Amino acid sequence: MTTQADKAATGRLGEELVRDRLVAAGWRVLDANWRSRARDCPGELDVVALDPDGDVVVVEVRTRRGGRCGSALESVGPGKVRRLRRLFGVWWGEQSPADRVRHAGGVRVDVVAVQLGPDGQADVEHVRGVG
């Protein structure tokens, strides 16, 4: 039986792996595990990063062990994408005017699915522009 602590540890592992891969690919992480303090828009952004083209990207990381609950990508539907966009608006509003000017490129939502195998290997799929 998988506990909440096991799920949280799996999620943290996936997020760390994704951040490391993004940085290695030339991305700059602007924020990680950011939590909204807005009462009308609670939630968390896993990663907010600047891609090599200068776009600000909200990266939703989904990590799974095994395949019993469907794929990680299937778990991000239109409602989740809308919520991520609202959360990004709150995050953006908290940035300084200078940071907003510096990061005034495009904005998109990506999903990175991490499938952890029993041998410790990670299969990573990055889907760009889901929202």
Domain boundaries defined on the chain: 4-127
User: Looking at per-residue confidence, does 67 or 27 come out higher?
Assistant: 27
Instruction: Output the CATH code of domain 4-127.
Output: 3.40.1350.10
Compute the distance between CA of residue 29 and CA of residue 50 in angstroms, rounded to an integer: 6
pLDDT in tens, 43-88: 999 999 999 999 999 999 998 876 666 666 777 888 999 999 999 9
pLDDT of residue 73: 72
Whole-model pTM above 0.85? yes
Task: Please give the mean pLDDT across all residues of the chain.
Answer: 87
Q: Provide the percentage of residues in the chain whose pLDDT is more than 90.
A: 52
Residues 34-47 have a mean pLDDT of 93
